[in-house]
Structure 1
């Protein structure tokens, strides 16, 4: 018993002695490490050889990387967050082209906003793709881009009409694009500096060589950033052109409609003596703004006394009128016209004159204001059956593509530089189809042609007052070219029971008033319609 107890005591003592010996050795090693200047590895020392003596090979890219620094990793994380935010904004702007989300309505086309969001998205994506390969060309192009975007921001904020059209959505888009451009320049510089620090710390020198893969990356990012900068240059040039066009004064006034969401332009020519027997001709545009088509012709009739008084307006997105929120149908447009007329104190009675697709708008307006519409003159107007062509998906896709590239202003800039196109040409003349706001109108017409406008015109035909005076004038060239068009023109003569005449002007094109015979027939028929509408 004594022997066994003693043995256990010796073993226990030996274990304690061994433990003390190990602790003493660890403490001794620690003291030795302190004497040698050794410390636990941190971000600056963990990849160096033990003891901090010597350097790594410069050809070890897996180790010699800016990603070793937590600040660089955090910067990349921030860029990813910014990319997610920008992508969400880009999606909202894409949706707003078709259906305007609440609080995101603008009075412009919305294509400029989308362009800035796309530019910002591309800038962030390419910045992340080449994050670890910073270069001077990328910094230079980034600075050029930032300067251009800040110039765009100044232009938008400086011109009231552009600022009103773009709204807070456009202003936020261009400011965000400019800030992201500055962020990318700072990111490129920070990564470059971090890369140099890591190379000097781990290899003892800053690496001046680049691998073939790195040179390809630098070349690619230089080309891509150059393209982005050229896009920004075109956006800036188009904005300057828009600022120039914004200085063109409208001949009438603009009235806020639809709960002050947008403004439409309305002008009346002639003295309103307050006599209810005085008929006012109300013009509705066709495919182009009325100032480029019917209005000059009607103004000639006003000058020679055939017409005592007339009014004309620009549908939302045409000439001086703002764009309306999407969706926007012909019936909504007719209501906007009625509201603008009421705000202007114009009560009629009216004789409606319209051409092409404007006939759809006039007929809806006439059906909703039968008490004040005494006569209708349709000039080779679109039949409701043709709305299916207006609403073709393929046509809508082409219009959308045209809208997407419209902020670049390639056609408008070329027209201004090489063809001497004026402000009038771009606002309401021969170049108006290049305008983003005009393209937006056509896209809206396409989107709602069959689901909404078709139903509105069908209802209008059913409730149209049958006693309203009606004259139809058709293009002989169009009638001769298409039997279907001829049948549809004939059907338009039955929208009321009070047809005065149907004339087919043989030598006249679709825009009947552009032919001498067409002008003669129209002047005669309009005079007859005004006279008989008095009865």
Structure 2
């Protein structure tokens, strides 16, 4: 080679070195047709018709500036997506300003997780583009676009997801489309470099490349199922959104979210507030009140035992939105107070609650001592057992369930194979599978042993001693746990005006599930309302 000979013949430093560089550049320019070498020509070997071996590492799409730019932008998009992913992860536990989602917040997290995962897969297999990756990339882009369209087209979904959910779904779609474009460009660049540097397009693949193609195909096959499941769950949610809520919904907490409230029965006309019989106010337990004990209370209303009753859904339950995190029992009591005021419902009240709802109703009663005339606790949770409700292990399981809830595996199976209805999913026995419900229970878990425990402790101290009290306990639960039995007994002491404490024989935690339990509850409710 001419330049190599000149390199060997010349030596020294200073002017001689500079002269050597100029001569070498001149030789390169002559070899490349009078032009300085660029990325399209500098790797070609000297000599007419010279080509590189197909296995030479220099035969790479990375030789092209455009391909390197695509990789750079992928890394930038990965960093942006990861920062957004962290923000959404934190927002599940503490809602940043202006980022509260009235839905569960798990869908936007799913879309962002999918975007991060897609970029990472694309970067790992960047230099090994394949037909399966192109096909699956196009399929994923299509389904993600359909996801975004469904969210934007259904008003209820658009409200629940908010701008955060819409932005996350659109971002995931754009990332999928960009990665599809990137795969096509890298494939083109790979063919171009093979043609230029080896004289032909390489059709062989090394064992390493075949393994990479196999692995990326398996990963993409699994990954592309995610937007399909997300789309199916969105369709179910759109179907459920068509179920009208009885009563009305009211914006609370500075219009951050809505809660559902419904009252059954007419207020007696020509009577002052003090002459009105008390309205029964229901607080649900572990499940929405519509599924739990509204049934026996409504029977009591129909047979004339009570004149009127109201019930509401705590944030995350049935038709109510999720509240910003963190959210305690005291905050729920304030939300109920605000909703009742907006509905112009001012009591007097007899509060009836079950399970964990006993915590909420006791806080509400302590803050409305002049309006609440009596309280009925049905196998209610004691404040000393809030540590069980706030168990970290239980919270972690709720978080895992929430992360998986957008896939809707259990809800889809129930709808397809078992004929589950909208009522089942919104407020019925399958309501626990929904993301909103899981988010509400997770919020409950996170502050149970801190904020909520402090609020119920204060409520017990300021509770009006003369308030009438009825406690009904489960025979099965009290026999199962001596600790539970002791705490049920202690609940009878939260006021000095205990009307009755009954242990319903043969009744489970949901006492109204047995005929004897329902009969006992209706009897005690009648007595409590009459004496109040």
**TM-score normalised according to structure 2 size:** 0.94
Q: Is the 1:45–1:52 contact (alpha carbons within 8 Å) kept by the matching residues of 2?
A: no
Within 5 Å, give how 1:47-446 maps onto structure 2. 47-50=43-46, 53-60=49-56, 62-273=57-268, 275=271, 276=273, 277-446=276-445
| 1:34 Cα offset (Å) | 5.0
CA deviation map 1:292-345 (0-9, x unaligned): 011111111111011100000000000000000000000000000000000001
Aligned pair partner of 1:41 in 31, 37, 41:
37
| 1:478 Cα offset (Å) | 1.1
Q: Is the 2:398–2:441 contact (alpha carbons within 8 Å) kept by the matching residues of 1?
A: yes
**CA radius of gyration, larger in:** 1
Gaps of 5+ in 1: 1-18
| 1:279 Cα offset (Å) | 1.0
CA deviation map 1:177-212 (0-9, x unaligned): 000000000000000000100000111100011000
Residue aligned with 1:97, SS:
helix
Taking the aligned partners of 2:87 and 2:479, their CA distance within structure 1 comes to: 47
What's the counterpart of residue 469 of structure 2? 470
CA deviation map 1:327-370 (0-9, x unaligned): 00000000000000000010000000000000000000000010
User: Aligned in 2, Cα 1:329/1:38: closer, same or farther, shift over 3 Å?
Assistant: same
Taking the aligned partners of 2:264 and 2:31, their CA distance within structure 1 comes to: 99
| 1:161 Cα offset (Å) | 0.8
Taking the aligned partners of 1:470 and 1:186, their CA distance within structure 2 comes to: 69
What's the counterpart of residue 9 of structure 1? none
CA deviation map 1:211-247 (0-9, x unaligned): 0000000011111111110111111111111111111
Gaps of 5+ in 2: 1-14
Moved more, 479-488 or 261-270: 479-488
User: Aligned in 2, Cα 1:522/1:47: closer, same or farther, shift over 3 Å?
Assistant: same
| 1:37 Cα offset (Å) | 2.5
Alignment length, in residue pairs? 510
User: Aligned in 2, Cα 1:270/1:53: closer, same or farther, shift over 3 Å?
Assistant: same
Q: Is the 2:313–2:319 contact (alpha carbons within 8 Å) kept by the matching residues of 1?
A: yes
Taking the aligned partners of 1:235 and 1:155, their CA distance within structure 2 comes to: 11
Misfit runs of 4+, over 4 Å: 29-36
| 1:394 Cα offset (Å) | 0.4
2:503 pairs with 1:507: no
| 1:63 Cα offset (Å) | 0.4
Taking the aligned partners of 1:128 and 1:30, their CA distance within structure 2 comes to: 39
Taking the aligned partners of 1:118 and 1:108, their CA distance within structure 2 comes to: 18
Taking the aligned partners of 1:90 and 1:280, their CA distance within structure 2 comes to: 47
User: Aligned in 2, Cα 1:465/1:37: closer, same or farther, shift over 3 Å?
Assistant: same
What's the counterpart of residue 527 of structure 2? 528
| 1:446 Cα offset (Å) | 0.6
Residue aligned with 1:495, SS:
coil
Q: What's the Cα RMSD here?
A: 1.8
User: Aligned in 2, Cα 1:530/1:130: closer, same or farther, shift over 3 Å?
Assistant: same
| 1:39 Cα offset (Å) | 2.7
| 1:40 Cα offset (Å) | 2.0
**TM-score normalised according to structure 1 size:** 0.93
CA deviation map 1:353-405 (0-9, x unaligned): 00000000000000001010000011110000110000011000111001111
Q: Is the 2:61–2:186 contact (alpha carbons within 8 Å) kept by the matching residues of 1?
A: yes
Residue aligned with 2:214, SS:
helix
Taking the aligned partners of 2:282 and 2:70, their CA distance within structure 1 comes to: 59
User: Aligned in 2, Cα 1:519/1:36: closer, same or farther, shift over 3 Å?
Assistant: closer
User: Aligned in 2, Cα 1:32/1:382: closer, same or farther, shift over 3 Å?
Assistant: closer
